[in-house]
């Protein structure tokens, strides 16, 4: 039974799909949420005139947005090459 | 016109008809959550998905001609078997669309071809281990994995943005949905249009119109891209309604989590080379994004009906594929059988389609936009 399961299913491949999906799915959506958090906080703190905090949230937004955009580019390359 | 050429034309037209139903049926995977959360108006959403499906079809031809590869014995495939398989897939796609149930078009196609091959050559034509490893195990993995990933994603998202003002946060997630929906549409266009390209290429090779191992000619790529994007633009509104609002009433964060997780799972499986159904993945993602917030938020009765449709897809498409093959063989091995079956089926589809369309769309721009 175990031999049959090993012959039919590539468990290594399956495990790779699982961890890359979790990393990509939870990771990228979390980074997107961080970008959104930064963007909304930037707007809020700008109104309060808190210069240093505005910059900090702005940097957070730019970095997180860049990471999301990089993952989109990686996704398009994956679609194109596979 | 000789009989071989007529048979080839029938197979090509039927393959494009399948491609159309594939786009029509799977529009929901890409646009349902965006329409449900009002990230995009319905007509804009299907137009966006159609354009990206069209573009996606031109991105790669690397997996063309691999449909049912390793699942049925390739040397036993004839044009009549392919025809039977296509009719099985089209019929099952239309049955599930009629009832508004999202089911896998790829599984329907594989089921149809397996059934027709079984009817033609018996059990020896079907590679059981391939069917289990390439279809059944991935069918179990896809929704469970997407459920877990979407559940994890929405939990993290709520932690990060939970105390923010809802207005700009919601608008931000709508942008995220447009982005993730675009990726899904591109991936769908690439993966699913290639199946049709593969079938048409195989038929051209069988009819000695192309050399073995040829890439699909440009007209095949263009025709497949056009058929799937036209189908997508027509929009399977009944399935969109099921996926977008009957399983779960979702907020923008849940819509983004479901769609973003679905895109991540599909792209991860594409990257690794493990085939997962888009439909199963997105459905699992929608349920996961709902259940992580509140288990009772998911309408489990609707989810159960969807799972029943998934379980029935392979055997039902196989049965229709086998029956179609058997019917065509009544007229011998020539063109007469597929021609009669083609005319009959076009008539039946036209009647059913006209009746359903006459009942009106399940969603309109006025109600959802």
pLDDT for residue A49 = 73
Show Cβ contacts of residue B180 under 8 Å, excluding neighbours closer than 6 positions.
Answer: B256, B259, B260, B262, B263
Q: How far is A55 from chain B (nearest CA, A)?
A: 18
Residue B139, chain A, CB below 8 Å: the answer is no
Per-residue pLDDT 10s for chain B (369 aa) are 678 888 899 999 999 999 999 998 888 888 888 888 889 998 899 999 999 989 988 887 665 555 666 788 877 788 889 899 999 999 999 889 888 888 899 899 999 999 999 999 999 888 888 888 878 888 888 899 999 999 999 999 999 998 899 899 999 999 999 998 898 888 888 888 888 888 888 888 878 888 877 888 999 999 999 999 999 888 778 888 888 778 888 899 999 999 999 888 888 887 777 778 888 898 899 999 999 888 888 888 888 888 998 999 999 999 999 999 999 999 887 888 888 998 888 888 778 777 766 766 554 444 443
Instruction: Write the DSSP string, chain A.
Output: -HHHHHHH--HHHHHHHHHHHHHHHHHHHHHHHHHHHHHHHHHHHHHHT-HHHHHHHHHHHHHHHHHHHHHHHHHHHHHHH-
**Residue listed under structure tokens 């309060």:** A48
Q: Phi-psi bin for A50: left (phi > 0), alpha (psi -120 to 50), beta?
A: beta
Give phi and psi for B69, each to the nearest 5.
-70, 125
How close A3 comes to chain B (CA, Å)? 12
* Whole-angstrom distance, CA of residue B202 vs CA of residue B214: 9
Go through B258-277 and write b for each residue having 16 or more CB atoms within 10 A of its CB, e for each that does not. bbbbbbbbbbbbbbbebbbb
Nearby residues of B287 by Cβ (< 8 Å), 6 or more positions away: B143, B147, B150, B247, B248, B298, B303
How far is residue A74's CA from residue B275's CA, in Å, rounded to a whole number? 19
Contacts of B164 in chain A (CB under 8 A): 36-37, 40-41
Chain-chain contact of A26 with B172 (C-beta, under 8 angstroms): no
Q: Do B264 and A16 touch (CB under 8 A)?
A: no
* pTM metric for this prediction: 0.86
Q: How many other C-beta atoms can be found within 10 angstroms of the C-beta atom of residue B43? A: 15
From A14, A22, A32, residue closest to B149, measured CB to CB: A22
Better-predicted residue by pLDDT, A34 or B188: A34
Distance separating alpha carbons of residues A67 and A76, to the nearest angstrom = 14
Say if A70 is an interface residue toward chain B (CB within 8 Å). Answer: no
How many angstroms away from the CA of B178 is the closest CA of chain A?
Answer: 12
Tokens of B275: 């085939």
Which chain A residues are Cβ-neighbours of B268 within 8 angstroms?
17, 20-21, 24-25
Q: Is A11 exposed, middle or buried (0-12, 13-18, 19+ CB in 10 A)?
A: exposed
ipTM for the assembly: 0.89
Q: Residue B64 corresponds to which tokens in the numbers above? A: 């063309």
pLDDT, residue B366, reads: 40
Q: Would the CB atoms of A75 and B141 count as touching at under 8 Å?
A: no
Chain A residues touching residue B173 (CB < 8 angstroms): 36
* B265 at interface of A, judged by CB pairs closer than 8 A: yes
pLDDT of residue B288: 93
CB B29 within 8 A of CB B173: no
Query: Touching check for A73 and chain B: CB below 8 Å?
Result: no
User: Which one of A8, A18, A72 has the shortest CB-CB distance to B179?
Assistant: A72
């Amino acid at each position: 039974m175990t031999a049959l399961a090993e012959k039919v299913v590539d468990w290594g491949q399956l495990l790779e799909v699982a961890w890359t999906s979790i990393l990509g799915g939870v990771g990228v959506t979390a980074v997107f949420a961080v970008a959104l958090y930064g963007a909304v906080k930037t707007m809020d703190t700008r109104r309060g005139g808190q210069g240093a905090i505005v910059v900090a949230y702005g940097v957070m937004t730019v970095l997180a947005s860049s990471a999301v955009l990089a993952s989109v580019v990686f996704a398009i390359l994956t679609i194109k090459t596979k | 016109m000789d009989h071989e050429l007529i048979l080839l034309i029938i197979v090509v037209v039927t393959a494009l008809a399948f491609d159309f139903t594939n786009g029509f049926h799977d529009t929901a995977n890409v646009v349902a959550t965006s329409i449900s959360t009002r990230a995009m108006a319905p007509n804009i959403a299907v137009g966006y998905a159609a354009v990206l499906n069209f573009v996606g079809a031109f991105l790669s031809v690397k997996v063309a001609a691999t449909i049912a590869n390793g699942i049925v014995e390739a040397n036993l495939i004839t044009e009549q078997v392919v025809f039977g398989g296509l009719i099985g897939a089209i019929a099952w796609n239309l049955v599930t669309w009629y009832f508004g149930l999202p089911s896998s078009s790829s599984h329907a196609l594989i089921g149809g071809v397996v059934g027709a091959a079984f009817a033609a050559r018996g059990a020896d034509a079907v590679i059981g281990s391939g069917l289990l490893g390439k279809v059944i195990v991935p069918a179990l993995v896809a929704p469970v994995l997407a459920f877990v990933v979407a559940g994890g994603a929405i939990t993290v998202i709520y932690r990060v943005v939970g105390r923010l003002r809802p207005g700009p946060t919601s608008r931000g997630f709508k942008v995220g949905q447009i982005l993730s929906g675009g990726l899904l549409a591109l991936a769908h266009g690439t993966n699913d249009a290639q199946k049709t390209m593969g079938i048409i290429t195989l038929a051209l090779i069988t009819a000695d119109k192309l050399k073995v191992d040829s890439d699909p000619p440009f007209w095949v790529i263009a025709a497949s891209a056009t058929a799937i994007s036209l189908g997508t633009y027509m929009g399977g509104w009944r399935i969109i309604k099921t996926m977008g609002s009957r399983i779960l009433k979702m907020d923008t964060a849940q819509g983004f989590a479901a769609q973003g997780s679905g895109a991540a799972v599909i792209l991860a499986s594409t990257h690794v080379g493990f085939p997962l159904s888009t439909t199963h993945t997105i459905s699992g993602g929608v349920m996961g994004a709902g259940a992580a917030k509140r288990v009772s938020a998911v309408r489990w009765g609707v989810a159960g009906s969807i799972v029943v449709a998934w379980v029935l897809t392979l055997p039902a498409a196989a049965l229709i594929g086998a029956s179609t093959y058997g019917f065509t063989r009544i007229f011998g091995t020539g063109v007469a059988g597929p021609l009669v079956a083609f005319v009959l089926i076009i008539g039946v589809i036209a009647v059913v389609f006209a009746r359903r369309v006459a009942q009106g769309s399940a969603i309109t721009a006025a109600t959802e936009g």
